[in-house]
Amino acid sequence: MSDAKFITLEGMEGAGKTTCLEFIRTYFSQRETPLLITREPGGTPFAEEIRSILLSPRDEPVSDGVELLLMFAARAQHLEQKILPALQAGQWVLSDRFTDATYAYQGGGRGIDLAEIEHLERLVQKGLQPDLTLYLDVPIDVGLARARGRGELDRFEQQEVDFFERTRDVYLQRAKEHASRFVVIDANQPLADVYEAISLALDAFVTA
């Protein structure tokens, strides 16, 4: 494996991931470091099809276990076809969400045993972990107000507030447990301050 780095961006609804992604894109292009930006669930045509299955609201019940397996099926494809080849070719990769989201949403939100997630993680990732995870943290009420201002809600955005409380708790717990790669960014402040915090975190990471 080359010394290319794998960065992930995480956050609750309305934390501002999409907005901050553009800032990060500019940060790397100004430093002439090619960065492959991708996302989960999705990132390849096949995995994007799984994404649309997962996100579309539907009448047919979908069990939590099926949702979990589809997340990892999409991830396996994404890793094999896109993330690993890029890293092996020396290119830095940034994924908008990765497995911390599975621990948070399927583990915290849905209540799936974290040991089951860990088992699938080992199977699919074979030890690969992000080198840096930027977690945009925002109180649930602030984030949901922002996200719900965007219009139609996907299958996840339709969940109740306590689902998001449990999701956020797991993100914060993981940030503590994996403190060497996590940077928690306060996303409940003006965007200029959020950008400044991201910039500081990236400066520290790229010069380390």
Residue 131 vs 155, nearer CB to ligand Z5A: 155
CA 115 to chain centre: 19
Question: In this structure, what token pair is assigned to residue 36?
Answer: 């492959």
**Angle (nearest 5°) at CA 83 between 93 and 51:** 105
Out of 8, 77, 102, 133, point to the residue binding ligand Z5A (CB under 6 A).
102
Nearest 10 degrees: CA dihedral of 208, 127, 121, 7?
Answer: 20
Residue 105 phi, psi (nearest 5): -80, -50
C-beta atoms surrounding 116 within 10 Å: 13
Q: Tell whether residue 107 is a contact of ligand Z5A (CB under 6 A).
A: no
Q: By CB under 6 A, how many residues form the interface with ligand Z5A? A: 25
Q: Tell whether residue 165 is a contact of ligand Z5A (CB under 6 A).
A: no
Residue 105 vs 182, nearer CB to ligand Z5A: 105
For residue 96, the surrounding DSSP H or E stretch is strand 92-96
Site string for ligand Z5A, 1-20 (x = CB under 6 A): ----------x-xxxxxxx-
Q: How far, in Å, CA of 160 to CA of 176, rounded?
A: 25
Site string for ligand Z5A, 171-190 (x = CB under 6 A): ----------------x---
Point out the residue whose Cβ comes nearest to ligand Z5A.
Answer: 16
Q: Tell whether residue 170 is a contact of ligand Z5A (CB under 6 A).
A: no
Q: Give the chain's end-to-end CA distance (angstroms, integer).
A: 19
Q: Tell whether residue 93 is a contact of ligand Z5A (CB under 6 A).
A: no
Residues in contact with ligand Z5A by CB under 6 A are: 11, 13-19, 40-41, 71, 96-97, 101-102, 105-106, 146-147, 154, 156-157, 187, 191, 194
